[in-house]
Structure 1
Amino acid sequence: MYADKEQKEILQSKGCLLTDQYLHDYEDCFVNKWDELIDWEKRAKSEGSFFYDIFRQRNVQSIMDVAAGTGFHSVRFLEQGYRVVSVDGSANMLVQAFENARDKGYILSTVHTDWRRLSFDVQGEYDALICLGNSFTHLFDEHDRRRVLSEFYSKLKPDGVLIVDQRNYDRILDEGYSSKHKYYYCGENVSAEPVQVKDDLVQFEYTFPDASVFHLNMFPLRKAYMQKLLYETGFGSVTTYGDFQETFRGEEPDFYIHVADKGIPDQS
């Protein structure tokens, strides 16, 4: 997806990972195991009413799920009566998401596209846009991160809300890795551990009960940096939650969830 071929070749020569790396990471057999990693029932219980509370407060009716994966959130929101468009750069993920939705009696509206092309490939504006599952950290290039957030911003209605999450990379980089595996990857007997940690790369290894092993490469975004990017994109307010709680100690959460409102904050 890099328009500048010379830039791409320079980055590759320096050993830099590109945003498109995830397309190679999510191979067919890994996608087929993704739901085993998540455990839909346990994940739903851990989230509780977090997203619905945010949507109700803002009168959300339409949602774009830009990292739909195998459809967990898209299907949950369809079940609650929201209008949902499911977007992913991985065709393998969207195929599985469509099948998961169909198994539950829903027809998923899917768009296979790169986040950097949302304004070209997805019609309309939405009340809410979600980018969950640590997906934003697939973006390794600073320009791509800013471009994607601008695309997100442009696809929201004037009073729309963006919800984007990330692992607690501050703790991973500063303290080492630990996880309660309570909120996100709830599957039984499935291991998700970093096997490489650097300032510009964290590689996670996923091991399943059948001894199959897969890897995902992530850029370790720090919380303050992510908040800064959101404000610089133009979002009027940003509230960061830790594992779906507004009050938390900085080192404790496994995941941060940023809720960014597009509208200008109330000055009264």
Structure 2
Amino acid sequence: MDSYTGFAERFDLLIDWDRRRKREETFFRRVLPEKAKSVLDCHCGTGFHCAMLSEMGYYTEGVDCSEDMLRVAVRNLEARGLSVRLHKADVKEMQSVLDRKFDCVLSMGNSLPHEPTDDCLLKALASMRQALVPGGICIIHMEDYDALYKDHDRFIPSTYRRHQNGAEAFIFAIDYFQDQVVFNILSIIEREGNAEFHADVVKYNPVSVKKMERLIQEAGFTDLAIYCDFRLTPHGMRESYDVIFVAYAPA
């Protein structure tokens, strides 16, 4: 997660919270069981899901191994008047900082593929299952690397936003390797006529859908469903770069 040093301060310029909430809130209302009261965001980043789910009425805690991301998350949550416990920890070892079990665990926004090997992925998934109450739900959202590698697009649509105080532009270029995919992100941030340029490199393990399905089952989860969007379209029903896994801890 060293790649998020510095980039954490720019991350929320890239990810629009209002647009993201419109896309995801209905999904969580549909997927989370009525009896679910508590949620653990296992890669909480700058705090979006902790904030949204807290405002939806869930008791929420967050875990992240990036001190920079957690610092921004604290600032975001305090600005919204929300009290959320955040823990600095590797998800594979987060039992050392948790003192309760949860009805739901999350790993959103393509976070889990930061784990560099299949063994690390399995350990992270096992730790997530351990953090659940019996019958608890696990939700994982990531890129569909099968689709990315099939299309092999070098550049993906960029983000540009202009407002009263300036503008932000983010340009993405992807490098594809056999066991690693690298997102190169060029940020151009203008404030009052002054522009800043930043280049960030974020690396992922391009785990396939079938391999992730197998690892989720090996970690002890059951009743797995796989979707290709937040409208709960079954995976394979349409082309998408999103894949969402929903599974349960044994009751």
Bin for the TM-score computed over the shorter chain = 0.7 to 0.9
What is the alpha-carbon distance in structure 2 between the residues aligned to residue 30 and residue 44 of structure 1? 22
Larger fraction in strand: 2
Between the two proteins, what is the percent identity of the paired residues?
Answer: 26
The structure-2 alpha-carbon separation of the partners of 1:244 and 1:106, relative to structure 1 and needing over 3 Å to count, comes to: same
> Any idea what the Cα deviations from partners look like across 1:56-114, whole Å, max 9, x if unmatched?
x3521000011000000100011111101111001111111011011011122111111
What is the alpha-carbon distance in structure 1 between the residues aligned to residue 100 and residue 138 of structure 2? 15
Contact 1:206–1:214 (CA under 8 A) maintained in structure 2: yes
Contact 1:42–1:186 (CA under 8 A) maintained in structure 2: no
Q: Does 1:54 align with 2:43?
A: no
Tell me what 2:3 maps to. 25
Gaps of 5+ in 1: 1-21
> Any idea what the Cα deviations from partners look like across 1:182-232, whole Å, max 9, x if unmatched?
xxx977354353431012111001222333221100110111111111111
The aligned amino acid for 1:47 is E
What is the alpha-carbon distance in structure 2 between the residues aligned to residue 180 and residue 254 of structure 1? 11
User: Which residue, out of 154, 170, 175, partners 1:196?
Assistant: 175
Q: Residue 237 of structure 1: CA displacement?
A: 1.1
User: Which residue, out of 219, 235, 238, partners 2:224?
Assistant: 238
Q: Residue 138 of structure 1: CA displacement?
A: 0.4
What is the alpha-carbon distance in structure 2 between the residues aligned to residue 159 and residue 239 of structure 1? 15
Q: Residue 179 of structure 1: CA displacement?
A: 8.9
User: Which residue, out of 2, 6, 22, partners 1:45?
Assistant: 22
The aligned amino acid for 1:202 is V
Size of the aligned set, in residue pairs, is 237
What is the alpha-carbon distance in structure 2 between the residues aligned to residue 153 and residue 216 of structure 1? 26
What is the alpha-carbon distance in structure 1 between the residues aligned to residue 242 and residue 154 of structure 2? 11
RMSD: 2.1
User: Which residue, out of 231, 239, 243, partners 1:256?
Assistant: 243
SS at match of 1:150: helix
Gaps of 5+ in 2: 162-167, 190-196
What is the alpha-carbon distance in structure 1 between the residues aligned to residue 160 and residue 93 of structure 2? 33
Q: Does 1:224 align with 2:210?
A: yes
What is the alpha-carbon distance in structure 2 between the residues aligned to residue 101 and residue 219 of structure 1? 30
The aligned amino acid for 2:244 is I
Q: Residue 116 of structure 1: CA displacement?
A: 1.4
SS at match of 1:86: strand
